[in-house]
Amino acid sequence: MATADRIVGVAVDFSVCSKAALRWAVENIVRPGDHLILINVQKEVLYEEGEMQLWEATGSPLIPLVELSDPGIAKKYGVKPDAETLDILNTVARQKEIVVVMKIYWGDAREKICEAIENIPLCCLIIGNRGLSKIKRVLLGSVSNYVVNNGTCPVTVVKCAEHEG
């Protein structure tokens, strides 16, 4: 084997902008044999099950693509992947023969995405940009800007055509 499999990360929240970043990643970065890891950050920690308390610090176990469309898994982790995202993932997994998994974190998206980059570790990360106005970016802070400046791997920001700001 000439090169080791790459681990490519895409930050997803199932918004229009994160789907644009996912599409860009599968069209431009992901190649056969890669591992594609979707990084999802939930704002609140749910303590309904004992496992969640353990995962707060380290994130969830890696969730295989086949389990992402299972309603029980979605409820357990508090994520709801939409049909379009699942279609993109199933297509790229089949066409490029890649492994697709999701890892879920709870807390501040900026910090948790940077943690994921180091702890997984990712060789690169693709993230969407919501297109916040300058004032909102100053007040709310830009997740993509923070990750670009603090992440320890190359980060590509995909600008979203549809502004949500």
Write out pLDDT tens, residues 103-138.
999 999 999 999 999 999 999 999 998 765 565 555
**Structural domain includes residue 126:** yes
Domain interval for residue 16? 7-159
Under the banding of pLDDT at 50, 70 and 90, the label for residue 73 is confident
Q: What is the CATH number of the domain that holds 70?
A: 3.40.50.620
Based on the structure, what is the number of domains in the chain? 1
**Structural domain includes residue 1:** no
**Structural domain includes residue 108:** yes
**Structural domain includes residue 164:** no
């996912």: which residue's tokens? 22
**Structural domain includes residue 41:** yes
Write out pLDDT tens, residues 11-70.
999 999 999 999 999 999 999 999 999 999 988 765 555 566 667 778 999 999 999 988
